[in-house]
Amino acid sequence: MIPIVSVVGKSDSGKTTLIEKLIPELTRRGYKVATVKHDVHGFDVDREGKDSWRHKQAGAHTVVISSPTKLALIRDVDHDADLAELRDKYIRDVDLILSEGFKKNTQPKIEVFRKEMHRDLLCTKEDNLVAIAANQSFALGVPCFDLNDARGLVDLIEEKFLKAVKTPLVRLRVDGKEIPLSPFIQQSIRGTVRGMVSSLKGCSSPQTVELEVLPD
């Protein structure tokens, strides 16, 4: 299951700015990151007059715009989906989801706080607050980082959510060389191989699987 960390905070606290700092640091460490932005006021990503806009205006429930480098999905919904639903329905092939907003969700949260703009925090430890990014210190029993300390925050994210399993789930060697695998790829390979092997006679509950691919 892809872990989710929500970046929350009051208006103009700098949530987007912090996410912009976290993404390149996570990417530099080899992780693939997806982001989800919550907009309580609704939004429109399609321009009037474009073909996809015309498809939607004609009554299409779902419109997909596809190109060699990008894909977009525009879909009618009947409720404000929570993060777990968005992850399970729409997000694949990443190691971590960073969301902006969703302060009422139960997912782990990092709160952004600026003392010159706000008096109180939105969250407490009971709201699954795992860290604070602020320009002042707090004594709430969770780590408090400087607003610009992306490396420190990513260290925490990596330790709590991306390296929860210290021993690798899957090791891959190609021609004798060990290939590093991100947690998501390890989970994907493990699930696929174990699922296929468990369907074989006498292999209903495999614990350790060794697979050797021989040359032609």
Instruction: Tell me the two tokens of residue 6.
Output: 């929500």
What's the gap between Cα 32 and its chain centre? 8
Question: Which of 3.40.50.10140, 1.10.10.60, 3.40.50.450, 3.40.50.300 is the CATH number of 4-40+80-162?
Answer: 3.40.50.300
Choice between 50 and 108, residue whose per-residue pLDDT is larger:
108
Measured distance CA(184)–CA(95) in Å, rounded: 5
H-helix or E-strand spanning residue 32: none
Is 25 in contact with 154 (CB distance < 8 Å)? yes
Question: What mean pLDDT is predicted for residues 72-84?
Answer: 88
> How does residue 61 score in pLDDT terms, banded at 50, 70 and 90?
confident
Which of the given ranges, 97-101, 123-127, 150-154, has the highest pLDDT on average? 150-154
Q: What is the mean pLDDT of the chain?
A: 87
pLDDT at 68: 93
* CATH 3.40.50.300 location in the chain: 4-40+80-162
Q: DSSP letters of 94-114?
A: -SEEEEE--TTSSS-EEEEE-
Question: What mean pLDDT is predicted for residues 202-216?
Answer: 82
Percentage of the chain beyond pLDDT 70 is 95
pLDDT digits (tens, 9 = 90+) for 132-169: 999 888 888 899 999 999 999 999 999 999 875 445 67
**Tokens 């949260």 -> residue:** 109
> How does residue 131 score in pLDDT terms, banded at 50, 70 and 90?
very high
pLDDT at 183: 73
Q: Single out the residue of 2, 15, 50, 45 nearest to residue 133, CA to CA.
A: 15
pLDDT digits (tens, 9 = 90+) for 14-27: 999 999 999 999 99
